[in-house]
């Protein structure tokens, strides 16, 4: 019976789906350290994580029999994708499943900050009745600057326009503007005209410290700042300085450079004493609807890979979308992208007079992936010959 380990309180539907497909499933609520993860992966075929558990090269090297990693979230920067790919470990994520949840929280943060809800709440909790319109604004007619116009940024653009906001965006890649959104040629162009600035950039290492003192300095007087993307992209010390000076009117932060491993752990931030501030514990995509959707989506990718060899929507392997086997068995052969591998595979099969019922090949970068359904079961010698083809990384045989 194959074994799966799901960490970080992944939605129970994911575990149930894997169990329904014949997996023995162990679940854990919290994240694990590198050493703890190595120990926990003993005998495990598939592992599921969210954003707190780092699946490093050291972890993968220690557990070479691991077949796949499921990231039950948008990001995959917590996994060493290059090492995983070169050693035949597929990685899957859920790039769209919690988009709406993140967008709704951004909209909520914008409205609350524009109306100074956090400040008013703080005052009334401390016995001060401060009924005043000072500093409170409607969002209608204000300019929203979106940095990163991907799945989340573009959907946010549509909802913000529905609220009557003017939308500008900046992205290093060419993106089609939706509705009446306007693309800015430079980041500073966006910052200098936006009443609200929100970050939606990915987790690549080059984005570390992306938004710092210079960027905050270019923002409009009394603008608000929102970060629901990655904790390491924004300089929170610089943010605090611009809030304390009165330059910025408020901020919402959902992600932090260093976060606790599990719920209930202690956490402190110097931003806690700010007046018009929303602080949330990395819950941008944490709605029941989103987590259920992610649980279904990623578990299905893992099941399709384990049983069918399908790499559709994998983030680190050549992608082939596969259904059930069209022969007696299926041979999935991952290899270095060298000339002639497909010919060698077919030559080995031909030597045993094995007919091919179906075959598909995909290559991406340094990797190649050929899947072959055969009409008769290969001998042990034939399978060994396939494994010995130059450049072979991993080979799996399924019925």
Residues in the chain: 399
Decide: helix, strand or coil at residue 92: strand
Residue with tokens 């854990």: 28
Count of C-beta atoms within a 10 Å radius of residue 91: 20
Q: Is 149 exposed, middle or buried (0-12, 13-18, 19+ CB in 10 A)?
A: buried
Residue with tokens 């719920």: 263
The C-alpha atoms of residue 263 and residue 168 are separated, in whole angstroms, by 36
Q: What is the distance between the terminal CA atoms of the chain, rounded to a whole angstrom?
A: 15
The C-alpha atoms of residue 68 and residue 60 are separated, in whole angstroms, by 10
Strand 196-199 with 224-227, pairing:
parallel
Q: Which residues are catalytic?
A: 230, 259, 282
228's tokens:
């629901």
Strand 166-170 with 143-147, pairing:
parallel
Give the DSSP letter of residue 110: H
Name residues whose C-beta falls within 8 Å of residue 36's C-beta, 6 or more positions apart in sequence: none
- Torsion angle of the four alpha carbons 95, 359, 309, 202, in this order, in degrees rounded to the nearest 10: -20
In angstroms, the Cα distances linking 163 to 141, 193, 328 are 9, 18, 57
Name residues whose C-beta falls within 8 Å of residue 127's C-beta, 6 or more positions apart in sequence: none
The C-alpha atoms of residue 315 and residue 138 are separated, in whole angstroms, by 41
Give the DSSP letter of residue 378: P
């Amino acid at each position: 019976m194959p074994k799966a380990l799901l960490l970080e309180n992944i939605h129970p539907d994911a575990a149930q789906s894997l169990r329904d497909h014949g997996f023995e499933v162990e679940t854990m609520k919290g994240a694990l350290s590198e050493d703890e993860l190595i120990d926990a992966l003993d005998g495990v075929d598939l592992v599921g994580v969210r954003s707190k558990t780092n699946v490093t090269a050291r972890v993968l090297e220690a557990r070479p029999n691991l077949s796949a990693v499921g990231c039950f979230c948008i990001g995959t920067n917590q996994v060493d994708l290059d090492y995983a790919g070169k050693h035949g470990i597929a990685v899957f994520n859920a790039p769209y499943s919690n988009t709406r949840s993140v967008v709704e929280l951004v909209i909520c943060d914008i409205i609350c900050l524009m109306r100074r809800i956090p400040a008013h709440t703080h005052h009334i909790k401390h016995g001060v009745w401060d009924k005043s319109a000072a500093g409170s604004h409607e969002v209608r007619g204000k300019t929203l600057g979106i940095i990163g116009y991907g799945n989340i940024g573009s959907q946010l653009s549509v909802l913000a326009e529905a609220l009557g906001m003017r939308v500008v965006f900046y992205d290093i890649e060419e993106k089609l503007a939706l509705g009446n959104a306007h693309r800015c040629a430079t980041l500073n162009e966006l910052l200098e005209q936006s009443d609200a600035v929100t970050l939606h950039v990915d987790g690549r290492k080059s984005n570390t410290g992306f938004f710092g003192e210079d960027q905050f300095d270019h923002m409009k007087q009394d603008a608000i700042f929102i970060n629901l993307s990655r904790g390491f992209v924004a300089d929170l010390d610089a943010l605090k300085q611009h809030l304390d000076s009165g330059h910025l009117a408020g901020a919402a932060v959902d992600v932090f450079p260093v976060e606790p491993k599990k719920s209930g752990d202690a956490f402190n931030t110097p931003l806690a004493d700010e007046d018009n501030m929303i602080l949330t514990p990395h819950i941008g995509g944490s709605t029941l609807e989103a987590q259920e959707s992610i649980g279904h989506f990623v578990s299905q990718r893992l099941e399709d890979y384990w049983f069918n060899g399908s790499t559709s929507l994998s983030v680190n392997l050549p992608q082939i979308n596969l259904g059930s086997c069209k022969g007696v068995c299926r041979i999935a052969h991952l290899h270095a992208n060298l000339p002639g591998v497909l010919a060698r595979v077919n030559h080995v099969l031909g030597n045993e007079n094995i007919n091919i019922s179906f075959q598909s090949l995909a290559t991406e970068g340094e990797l190649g992936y050929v899947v072959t359904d055969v009409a008769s079961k290969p001998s042990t010698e034939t399978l060994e010959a396939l494994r010995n083809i130059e450049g072979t990384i991993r080979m799996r045989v399924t019925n």
